[in-house]
Amino acid sequence: MAIRKDYFEWAAREFNPARIHEKPEALRGIRVLDLSVIYFGPATADFLGELGAEVVKVEMPGQGDVTRILGNASFFWKNISVAFFCANHSKYHVGIDMHRAAGQELIRQLAARSDIVVENFKAGTLEEKFGIGYRQLREINPRLIYVANTGFGQWGSFSRGRASYDGLAQAVSGLTAITGAGDVPTKIGNYLGDWFGACMSALAALAALHWRDRTGEGQFVEMAQCEGLLRAMDWTWLYAGLTGRNRAKVGNGDHVFAPSGVYPCADGYVALVAGTDGEFKALCRLIGQPALAKDPRFATRDARRRTEHARALDLAIGAWCVGRSRAHVEARARKAGVAAAPVMTAKDQITDAHLRARRTVWEHDDPVYGPMVECGPAPKLSETPARIRWAGKPVGFHNEFVLKSILGLDDERIRELYAEGAVGRWAEGRRGAGPPEDWKGEGVLQ
């Protein structure tokens, strides 16, 4: 049966991005207390925030999260690194010094009023050093879901004294060893272990929320970035278990689908895969070599994926792509029913009509930072669309709102907390922590 004529108009109405802000939010009423730093932690809280949770981000007064100053000179914009914003949307920013007893007490008070806590300190740190670990907070709030993200886990022989970053997770998991080709390792260009791990831990937090809805019970949830990457290596382990061998590095080829490759075009690269016999026949016609489909070297998927046969196909496809534009290759392939996609750069994406129509390229106007373009939420929900409400803010920007509206403190107590140093804002002159130099007080909540 064919696709109904009105399907795409119906879907466009159902997901209409112009109506996102009129619709409810899935996690409205859920409060997330974000005690984490850098990406693997803040991103977990951020993803829950995109889906509608209220996120309170706690930072060290004065300097705040290190991503505020991450990067080389090209990252600095409006007195802050652009690296900060991607994991810190729509949060309430409070500056609390967890080293001080009064600061720890504020965290306990916030945890008592929260549904989910997210942290990514070394295992045991918040309990032993600050008195705000899971065992302490669950005494105050037995319904609490406590999410802890680490490199290697809360326990086990690697967990003692070993810190981790995404790059280490790539290396130690074995993912680097199955990526690329040749001897020199390929470092994956983004911090994949952080982001994938953060996404997975947000998912587990929501499963725990479902359980809490059924029973009233909170729990401790943990995600280790190495274990996330281990889990995401499809058939690597099953293959090693059966054969005792490591899966071979095949660059941009694919062990299952052939042809599969990245081909130079006139204006960049294009990725192309023909995974079925039907797609392969269509590809042969597309590149003007229909006879290839009958060639015994290429007649079946098994034949096509033999190394030397796959290489021959790569040459034929590459020769056809050379001199053509990416858009031309993509359009012709699409018409033929073959999957081809431009290797997109940020420059391509930021002006892409499709990504803009889906609000994956998300333009917004922030009261403090002005017009911004960021990556919008990935999943599109028809009834409760995920969204960006505002951009990350300076350290302690929402102190008064958090201390008054959430904790119910009065002005006098707040003044004391400032005076003690338990609460604070950005340090004057500290790059990344404060507002842009030309800020005139816009966006302040009292």
- 190 or 445, CB closer to other proteins? 190
How many other CB atoms are found less than 10 A from the CB of residue 364?
Answer: 18
CB of 273 to other proteins, least distance (A): 4
| Contact letters for other proteins, residues 80-109 (x by CB under 8 A) | -xxx-xx-------------xxxxxx--xx
- CA dihedral angle for residue 325, residue 329, residue 331, residue 335, rounded to 10 degrees: 160
- In contact, 70 and 395? CB cutoff 8 Å: no
The verdict on 374 binding other proteins (CB under 8 A) reads yes
CA–CA gap between residue 41 and residue 397 (Å, rounded): 20
Taking CB under 8 A as the rule, does residue 74 contact other proteins? Answer: yes
Please name the amino acid found at residue 359: R
Is residue 427 a contact point for other proteins (CB under 8 A)?
A: no
The beta strand positions in 8-121, using DSSP E, are: 31-34, 54-59, 76-77, 80-81, 91-95, 116-119
Considering only 19, 21, 334, 415, the residue that binds other proteins (CB under 8 A) is: 334
Q: Judged by CB under 8 A, which stretch of 56-64, 285-293, 352-360, 438-446 contacts other proteins?
A: 352-360
Angle between helical axes of 411-420 and 101-112 (0-180°, round to 10): 140
Residue nearer to other proteins on the CB measure, 14 or 445: 14
Burial track 177-213 (b if 16+ CB lie within 10 A, e otherwise): bbebeeeeeeebeebbbbbbbbebbbebbbebbeebe
CB of 432 to other proteins, least distance (A): 11
- Single out the segment in contact with other proteins by CB under 8 A; choices: 287-295, 343-351, 397-405, 434-442: 343-351
The CA distance from 195 to 285, in Å, is: 40
Specify the residue, 305 or 398, whose C-beta has the smaller distance to other proteins.
305
DSSP 122: S
Residue number, 291 or 438, with CB nearest to other proteins: 438
Q: Which two three-digit tokens encode residue 441? A: 């007080």
Of the pair 180, 421, the CB lying nearest other proteins is at: 180
Within positions 278 to 317, which residues make up the interface with other proteins, using CB under 8 A? 279, 301-302, 305-306
Q: Which stretch binds other proteins (CB under 8 A): 46-54, 290-298, 398-406, 437-445?
A: 46-54
- CB nearer other proteins, residue 73 or residue 291: 73
189 binds other proteins (CB under 8 A): yes
Backbone dihedral angles phi then psi of residue 277, each to the nearest 5 degrees: -60, -40
Residues 397 to 416 in contact with other proteins, rule: CB under 8 A: 413
Of the pair 201, 292, the CB lying nearest other proteins is at 201
Distance CA 126, CA 5 (A): 57
Residues belonging to the active site? 194
Q: Assess 173 for contact with other proteins (CB under 8 A).
A: yes
27 binds other proteins (CB under 8 A): yes
Work out how close the CB of 289 gets to other proteins at its nearest, in angstroms, rounded to a whole number: 19
Report how many residues bind other proteins under the rule CB under 8 A: 196
In whole angstroms, what is the distance from residue 32 CA to residue 378 CA? 20
CB of 395 to other proteins, least distance (A): 17
Site for other proteins contains 15 (CB under 8 A):
yes
Q: Does 265 bind other proteins (CB under 8 A)?
A: no
Of 55-63, 78-86, 290-298, 434-442, the segment contacting other proteins by CB under 8 A is 78-86
In the chain, the amino acid numbered 119 is E
Interface pick for other proteins out of 18, 22, 161, 412 (rule CB under 8 A): 161
Query: Minimum distance between the CB of residue 300 and other proteins, rounded to whole angstroms?
Result: 11
73 touches other proteins by CB under 8 A = yes
Positions 379 through 398 that interact with other proteins (CB under 8 A): 379-384, 386
Asked whether 31 and 54 are in contact (CB, 8 A), the reply is: yes
Q: Distances from the Cα of 212 to the Cαs of 25, 139, 179, 218, 223, in angstroms?
A: 19, 16, 40, 6, 19
**CA–CA separation, 337 and 10 (whole Å):** 23
235 sits near other proteins (criterion: CB under 8 A)? yes
Does the N-terminal peptide bond of residue 385 adopt cis geometry, omega within 30 degrees of 0? no
Residue type at position 37 = V
* Structural contact between residues 260 and 191, judged by C-beta atoms closer than 8 angstroms: no
Q: Say whether residue 116 binds other proteins (CB under 8 A).
A: no
Mark the segment that binds other proteins (CB under 8 A) among 287-295, 349-357, 397-405, 433-441: 349-357
